Amino acid sequence: MNILEQIHSPAELKYLSETQLEIVATQIRELIVKTVAQNGGHLAPCLGTVELTLALHKVFSCPRDKFVWDVGHQAYAHKILTGRLEKFSTLRQKDGITGFPNRFESEYDAFGVGHASTSISAALGMAVARDLDNEDYNVIAIIGDGALTGGEAFEGLNNAGMSKRKLIVILNDNEMSISQNVGALSEYLSLIRIDEKYKRAKKDIQRILGNIPKIGGSVLKTANYVKDGVKNAIVPGGIFEALGFNYIGALNGHSLTDLINVFEKVKANIDGPVLIHVQTKKGHGYLPAENNPSKFHGIGKFDVLTGLPIASNSIVPTYTAVFSRALIDLAAKNKNITAITAAMPSGTGLQKFADVYPKRFFDVGIAEEHAVTFAGGQACIGKRPFVALYSTFAQRAYDQVIHDICLQKLPVVFCLDRAGLVGEDGPTHHGVFDIAYMRQIPNMVVMAPKDENELRQMVFSAVEYNCPCSIRYPRGNACGVPIEEDVEILPLGKGEILQDKENATVAIIAVGSMVKEAMVASEKLSLENINCSVINARFIKPLDEELILNIAKKVKYVVTIEEGILAGGFGSAILELLNQNKIYKPVIRMGIPDEFIEQGTRNELLKECKLTSEDIIQTIKDFEE
Ligand SMILES: Cc1ncc(C[n+]2csc(CCOP(=O)(O)OP(=O)(O)O)c2C)c(N)n1
Ligand SMILES: CC(=O)[C@@H](O)[C@H](O)COP(=O)(O)O
Ligand SMILES: [Mg+2]
């Protein structure tokens, strides 16, 4: 009997017994595994929150009670239980269910997420609004131990604790970020998790509390004092209580009985900020994910029976792998090279660097702002830090890049991976703003390689430039060109003429991932007697003004193409340059339009944004008509 298929809203969970809920948990797990095996997605985080999600929806009344997920990559069970069961097979597909809670997708998704550490701030905002409206629903933030290492989470905790407002923070502690969680907080949590004396004392007190069916306020308060006294005596600090929260935990996050029992008590007695510490296992219920939660944090298609990825058979390296190799080779020649990640060692490729140079590798947790300023500090003392961030996550540290690095001309190199359209993660993760936001900053060199060999050259060249540099490269496989071991240092601010036809009527000025598309288009256009010159700009800042102006003077019009937003992007820079030099010719800018691009495969989205060679051809043919 498939109970799950009979559930049309979470309210119906209130009529199910715990035995029935256990069956539903199994059915949800099976559905998540099957769907992620086909579509890819965040399997391990979602498997770890099935019971937690069921207990939340059993006890509380979403959407009146607000559930604010943090990152939101663990919310598939929430989506399945809130009216999206039938469409769940479209997870992360174009025009399908999104991989993160999304306000436009469902009233049950109280806040749009994807970037970490925002849930407490958003939840407190909702609690304040509730109180101003004299309403009485609950607001619940669900945040992971990794996301809790993000500074904004502490800003939220600090403000919430002082506010004394009724707010529930559920700490979903699976002892993992994407890989091993880092930092003093993580060690503190492990102290609470493992302290047997504390757990014994807590069990005894909970038994006492549990045996008194109707606990009067004074008895409950006294018992809590005893519990807190015991805890504070054993577990130093009670950091959350120091911040004004009533701390409850650590609960078994896979025990529906424990979860429902505590949630009911909190719901009945809440009179201020409460933090419920829930201990879960990332990947719970699917052995391959339990055994390797990092690999199954975010995974592509895989075989359910074996857990083995159904890998693409490409032998072309990813840009990430090329970057990682280049940095390792550079570090072998330069002992001052250091590498910094914000909780993404595997995704940025820096784990390989850490394996070779562990003392020069730093994972600072989900703390991009700290990572940048931390790099600035290192650079003041002669180190040459490379900060590897996903373009989208680097947005968190914009002021630090300006104030702590560029203003001080510190030689920090930003390696922005996942720059451009990332695909199934959708608008929260597309790295489309970095060209615009980096080129605005004085003293910053902004580069984008046309292929993997040029990426290697840029990594080596950035150190020679001895100034703030940003190198951006896309998610996925590179171009499949040979990589020269002996690296040519690129002259700063110099682009490259790939094709300079005397009778050219148009100059295509491309940067980064779009250079390959420009060359393909140019070759096809020449078959139709449309002659193009093609420039690989290489540098978004400083532009190769001489090269660009010389070519522009010889043609009737210019086409620029970038995998970034048009507003203030590379094409804008070319427009500004031509205008400043009184070259008043048409400039057709191709790039990401002024809108958030939804999810899909990377190729689907490049087509949607008209960033393929065919689109360049059509654009030029339309203009030539
Ligand atoms: C600002 C930001 N930086 C990095 C990430 C990438 N990221 C996604 S999930 C994750 C780890 C989150 O750990 P945790 O909150 O413990 O959740 P878990 O995966 O363990 O369930 C990271 C680093 C992000 N989403 N947002
Ligand atoms: C949820 C999150 O932010 C990360 O897991 C992200 O989805 C990883 O992206 P990649 O798959 O491109 O490494
Ligand atoms: Mg975690």
Using one digit for the tens of pLDDT, what is the confidence trace for 370-416? 999 999 999 999 999 999 999 999 999 999 999 999 999 999 999 99
Q: Which two tokens stand for residue 546?
A: 């001489």
Q: Give tens-digit pLDDT for 613-625.
A: 999 999 999 999 8
* 429 Cα nearest atom in ligand 1: 25
Measured distance CA(113)–CA(133) in Å, rounded:
25
Confidence of residue 443 (pLDDT cuts 50, 70, 90): very high
Determine whether the shortest distance from the Cβ of 418 to ligand 2 is under 6 A: yes
Q: What is the pLDDT of residue 232?
A: 55
- What is the share, in percent, of the chain residues with pLDDT greater than 90? 88
Measured distance CA(588)–CA(624) in Å, rounded:
12
Helix (H, G, I), strand (E, B) or coil at 388: strand
Q: How far is the CA of 253 from the centre of ligand 2 (A)?
A: 24
Between 257 and 187, where is the model more confident? 257
pLDDT at 237 over 50: no
Cis peptide before 63 (omega within 30 of 0): yes
CA distances to 171, 348, 459 from 379, rounded to whole Å, are 36, 21, 17
Measured distance CA(182)–CA(476) in Å, rounded:
27
Using an 8 Å Cβ cutoff, are 34 and 78 in contact? no
Q: What is the pLDDT of residue 1?
A: 73
Measured distance CA(249)–CA(191) in Å, rounded:
12
pLDDT at 156 over 70: yes
Confidence of residue 314 (pLDDT cuts 50, 70, 90): confident
**How many other CB atoms are found less than 10 A from the CB of residue 170?**
31
Measured distance CA(275)–CA(288) in Å, rounded:
31
Confidence of residue 195 (pLDDT cuts 50, 70, 90): low
Measured distance CA(519)–CA(384) in Å, rounded:
35
Using an 8 Å Cβ cutoff, are 565 and 591 in contact? yes
Question: How many residues are given for the chain?
Answer: 625
Task: Give the Cα-Cα-Cα angle 65, 70, 74 (nearest 5 degrees).
Answer: 95
Determine whether the shortest distance from the Cβ of 41 to ligand 2 is under 6 A: no
| Mean pLDDT to the nearest integer, 181-200 | 73
Please report which helix (H) or strand (E) contains residue 602, including its range: helix 602-608
Q: How far is the CA of 45 from the centre of ligand 1 (A)?
A: 10
| Mean pLDDT to the nearest integer, 486-494 | 96
User: Hey, which residues are catalytic here?
Assistant: 282, 368, 396
* 173 Cα nearest atom in ligand 1: 16
Using an 8 Å Cβ cutoff, are 65 and 138 in contact? yes
Measured distance CA(179)–CA(198) in Å, rounded:
27
Q: What is the pLDDT of residue 2?
A: 86
CA distances to 315, 370, 397, 476 from 481, rounded to whole Å, are 11, 36, 33, 15
Tell me the whole-structure pTM to 2 decimals.
0.94
| Mean pLDDT to the nearest integer, 50-57 | 98
Determine whether the shortest distance from the Cβ of 551 to ligand 2 is under 6 A: no
Q: Give tens-digit pLDDT for 592-621.
A: 999 999 999 999 999 999 999 999 999 999
Q: Give tens-digit pLDDT for 513-526.
A: 999 999 999 999 99
| Mean pLDDT to the nearest integer, 111-139 | 98
Measured distance CA(169)–CA(266) in Å, rounded:
11
Q: What is the pLDDT of residue 236?
A: 39
Measured distance CA(309)–CA(301) in Å, rounded:
6
Q: Give tens-digit pLDDT for 491-549.
A: 999 999 999 988 999 999 999 999 999 999 999 999 999 999 999 999 999 999 999 99
Rounded-to-10 torsion of CA 393, 396, 397, 403: 150
Q: What is the pLDDT of residue 19?
A: 96
State the average pLDDT for the chain: 94
Query: Checking DSSP bridges between strand 557-565 and strand 587-592, what pairing results, if any?
Result: parallel
Q: Tell me the sheet residues that pair with 67.
A: 140
| Mean pLDDT to the nearest integer, 281-294 | 98
Q: Tell me the sheet residues that pair with 509.
A: 535, 560
Q: What is the pLDDT of residue 585?
A: 97
Measured distance CA(567)–CA(551) in Å, rounded:
24
Determine whether the shortest distance from the Cβ of 116 to ligand 1 is under 6 A: yes
Complete edge-to-edge strand list for the sheet that includes strand 557-565:
496-499, 532-536, 506-510, 557-565, 587-592
Q: How far is the CA of 181 from the centre of ligand 1 (A)?
A: 10
**Residue of the CA atom closest to atom 1 of ligand 2:** 73
Here the ipTM equals 0.99
Please state the three-class secondary structure of 272-323 as a single string. Answer: CEEEEEEECCCCCCCHHHHHCCCCCCCECCECCCCCCECCCCCCCCEHHHHH
Q: What is the pLDDT of residue 238?
A: 82
**How many other CB atoms are found less than 10 A from the CB of residue 608?**
15
Measured distance CA(229)–CA(245) in Å, rounded:
15
Using an 8 Å Cβ cutoff, are 508 and 522 in contact? yes
Confidence of residue 230 (pLDDT cuts 50, 70, 90): low
Measured distance CA(276)–CA(259) in Å, rounded:
10
Q: What is the pLDDT of residue 204?
A: 65
Determine whether the shortest distance from the Cβ of 366 to ligand 1 is under 6 A: yes
Q: Worst-scoring range by mean pLDDT, 25-39, 189-203, 374-388, 498-512?
A: 189-203
Q: Worst-scoring range by mean pLDDT, 80-89, 144-153, 176-185, 326-335?
A: 176-185
Angle between helices 545-554 and 570-580 (to 10 degrees): 70
- What is the share, in percent, of the chain residues with pLDDT greater than 70? 93
Measured distance CA(299)–CA(20) in Å, rounded:
30
**Residue of the CA atom closest to atom 4 of ligand 1:** 366
Please report which helix (H) or strand (E) contains residue 429, including its range: none
Q: What is the pLDDT of residue 191?
A: 75
Give the residue among 309, 298, 498, 262 at the shortest CA–CA distance from 418. Answer: 298
Determine whether the shortest distance from the Cβ of 113 to ligand 1 is under 6 A: no
Confidence of residue 211 (pLDDT cuts 50, 70, 90): low
CA distances to 39, 41, 203, 381, 445 from 300, rounded to whole Å, are 7, 6, 41, 42, 34
Return the amino acid letter for 546. E
Please report which helix (H) or strand (E) contains residue 344, including its range: none
Query: Checking DSSP bridges between strand 532-536 and strand 496-499, what pairing results, if any?
Result: antiparallel
pLDDT at 225 over 70: no
pLDDT at 118 over 90: yes
Return the amino acid letter for 302. F
* 148 Cα nearest atom in ligand 1: 15
Q: Give tens-digit pLDDT for 253-282.
A: 999 999 999 999 999 999 999 999 999 999
Confidence of residue 172 (pLDDT cuts 50, 70, 90): very high
Q: How far is the CA of 173 from the centre of ligand 3 (A)?
A: 5
